[in-house]
Copies of this chain bind each other. A is one copy, B any other.
Amino acid sequence: MKKGKLFGVGVGPGDPELMTLKSVRVIEESSVIAVPGEAPENSVAYRIALRACPCLLKKETVALPMPMTKKEEVLKESHRQGAEILSGFLDQGKQVSFLTLGDPSIYSTYLYVKKILEGRGYDTEMVSGIPSFCAAAAALNVSLSEQAESLHIIPASYPIEEALKLPGTKVLMKSGKKLKQVKDQLLAAGSEVKMVENCGMEGERRYFSTREMPDEGSYYSLMIVKD
């Protein structure tokens, strides 16, 4: 039997209208919908997709437990188990859509599962989604880069002192728990900062200066720092 194909489908950052025509089509054509998490209906990516594709309710769904940990062994084991579950569907010739927030090529869990399955000879494809930083720029109605400016996407784990020295625009992602520390460094550097929390989701908030920003952010806090 011909094996099924695995799609890593970006559903964008929150607003279901920011899904692409291709994402909607690929989801509609898939027999199985996979999401990271304990239960599909609790997954943010699933809830976004459901609002644009009500057909999800009639599809086979599978949740792949992906613990939020930095322990490499635990992570690897969860990716291996996720790949194992998906290979079962692919071996039955079923097309699988693995939903990811934002774009699948940027910090997604899909990437790890895809690597394992590619190594085993399965066919995979990524379907681009709007990255959170583009939607944040739109929510704040500001540019990310103009003319000769470069644009740096920096996860919270990156040493921020170094990041702030880079020329161009800096997007600081996932600084949730470290927000107070990041805020103090931005105030000291005198940077021009804007922030969005939960962009395009319930509880979206926008901040137009460092002083306005709260001391604790969420996983979905994103800052745009200009020179």
A209 CB → nearest B CB, Å: 19
User: Interface size class for chain A?
Assistant: 35 or more
A179 at the interface (CB under 8 A from B): no
The contact of A145 among B16, B106, B130, by CB within 8 Å, is: B106
Find the B residue at minimum CB distance from A137.
B105
A35 interface residue per 8 A CB criterion: no
Return the CB mask of A150-175 against B: 1 if under 8 Å, else 0: 11111101100001001000000000
- What is the 8 Å Cβ interface bit string for chain A, positions 110-139, against chain B (1 contact, 0 not)? 011000000000001111111100110110
Number of copies: 2
- Chain A interface, >50% SS class: mixed
User: Of A19-27, A182-190, A212-220, which stretch is located at the interface?
Assistant: A19-27
| A39 at the B interface (CB under 8 A) | no
The 3 A-B residue pairs whose C-beta atoms are closest, nearest first, are: A105-B137, A17-B22, A151-B153
- List 15 A-B pairs, Cβ < 8 Å: A16-B21, A17-B21, A103-B134, A103-B144, A107-B145, A107-B146, A107-B147, A126-B137, A128-B134, A128-B135, A131-B131, A145-B155, A147-B157, A150-B153, A150-B154
Chain A residues at the B interface, C-beta cutoff of 8 Å: 10, 12, 15-22, 24-25, 52, 103-107, 111-112, 124-131, 134-135, 137-138, 141-155, 157-158, 163, 166
